[in-house]
Amino acid sequence: MADTYTYTNKTTSVAFAWPSTVTGVERIALSAQGELQRILRPVPPDHLPSKKYNSHSPRLSSAYFARPISVTVVYTDTFWHPTPGARKELPLPPPAAAIAQASEETPIIQTRQVHLVCSGQIVCTATATVRITDPSIAHLFLVENYAIGQMFRQIEQLPKFELKNVDIGPYPCNDDPDVSSWCPASNPDSGSQELWRQYRLFAPDLECDIVEVFPDRGMFVAGVDWLDGMSGVPVHLYERLDQYPKRVGLSA
């Protein structure tokens, strides 16, 4: 797959076939490279999707919340693969012997789901399959409990990034057996509009395949109003987005 980011000595480009109605603010979140928790921060008013939002700018300037974001682990499934084709479920923290033997031939693989939580509201559900082939990295992740983004910084590696897919609407759980057991049920009557992406981060000895589901595009429109009201995002805020479809699959 071609790199999402390319650069020369003078230019940087982001190349991806975005859904037509995705806004600039949403693309910032969808392009995050293991740093979503960090970038959910204030956005200057002149970086907002449209100047016609200026009447609401005190709230929109905090579209990326300016509040603490915490990571809550929902579940983990951790396995050590001592021989090709075999796997052994590991407790957490894993035995030191299993961590010490993490290698390309005997990797440790964990599937985990976490919630990013801000002001008591889930702003993102992320499920990752993490493959580790180095004992020191396994210790950071499984014993010291570093989150994925912080782990790349701790090992001082800039991961490569592949954005595989982005779409509006419920995540297609049935097409992905790794997430079908956790995929959140969509409520067509709620008025919310999910946004999701699949991407991959990888560096030597550490590979992460990740699905992130944002529960409502209204969070990128109403900011702290969405946090504080959750289901009460005013309809006129949705309507202010140019050609903003009410549900996935409807033409703009």
Tens of pLDDT along 17-76? 888 888 877 887 887 776 665 556 544 444 434 433 333 332 322 337 778 888 888 889
Mean pLDDT, all residues of the chain: 74
Look at phi and psi of residue 191 and say left if phi exceeds 0, alpha if psi is from -120 to 50, else beta. Answer: left
DSSP-assigned letter for residue 16: -
CATH class of 5-239: alpha beta
Between the alpha carbon of residue 165 and those of residues 16, 113, 214, 233, the distances in Å are: 9, 19, 14, 27
DSSP SS3 for 5: strand
| Residue 201, pLDDT score | 92
Selected residue with higher pLDDT from 207 and 37: 207
Confidence of residue 181 (pLDDT cuts 50, 70, 90): low
Between the alpha carbon of residue 87 and those of residues 13, 80, 110, the distances in Å are: 41, 6, 12
Confidence of residue 142 (pLDDT cuts 50, 70, 90): very high
The answer, yes or no, to whether the previous bond of 93 is cis (omega within 30 of 0) is: yes
Tokens of 32: 């995050």
Element (H, E) at 141: helix 135-142
Q: Which amino acid type is present at position 208?
A: C
- Residues facing residue 70 across a β-bridge: 117
Selected residue with higher pLDDT from 146 and 222: 146
Tokens of 235: 């309809």
DSSP-assigned letter for residue 184: P
The pLDDT tens digits for 143-154 are 998 888 888 889
**Using CA atoms in the order 6, 248, 240, 219, what is the torsion angle rounded to 10 degrees?**
-70
Tokens of 146: 């570093």
DSSP SS3 for 25: helix
Confidence of residue 164 (pLDDT cuts 50, 70, 90): very high
Q: In whole angstroms, what is the distance from residue 243 CA to residue 21 CA?
A: 7
Instruction: Choose from 9-18, 203-212, 218-227 the range with maximum mean pLDDT.
Output: 203-212
Q: In whole angstroms, what is the distance from residue 134 CA to residue 99 CA?
A: 8
